[in-house]
Amino acid sequence: MRKIIVSEYITLDGVIEDPGGAEGFKHGGWSFHFGGQEQQQYKFDELFASDALLLGAGPMKGLQPRGRTWLLKQERMARE
């Protein structure tokens, strides 16, 4: 049986929307100001340690079509 692992950006007080600031919310971009190379590497490793991804409609729109091609290329490189 497979596991479902949830990976989210969320603040201690429960804010979850628009962590990168691309959606234009009043408090958007709250999480990307505090990360660094170590955080990026952690999220990259976490992404490619999985066998499958379950993405909502919003992230899928961001991945089409150029982003999806990049994601597949990164996956191939990670497995080599």
Quick one: pLDDT at residue 29? Answer: 81
Taking the model in full, what pTM does it have? 0.50
| Residues 47, 16, 21, 54, Cα dihedral to 10° | 30
Provide the residue count of the chain. Answer: 80
Q: Encoding tokens for residue 22?
A: 């691309």
* Whether 26 and 44 share a structural domain: no
Instruction: Report the Cα 31 to chain-centroid distance in Å.
Output: 12
Whether 14 and 26 share a structural domain: yes
The verdict on 75 and 59 lying in the same domain is yes
- Dihedral sign (CA 34, 36, 39, 43): positive
Indicate whether 67 pLDDT > 60: no
Domain that holds residue 49: 37-79
Percent of the chain with pLDDT over 70: 78
CA-nearest of 24, 23, 27, 30 to 9 is 30
- The predicted-structure confidence for 13-52, as pLDDT tens digits, reads as follows 888 887 778 778 887 887 777 778 888 888 888 888 877 7
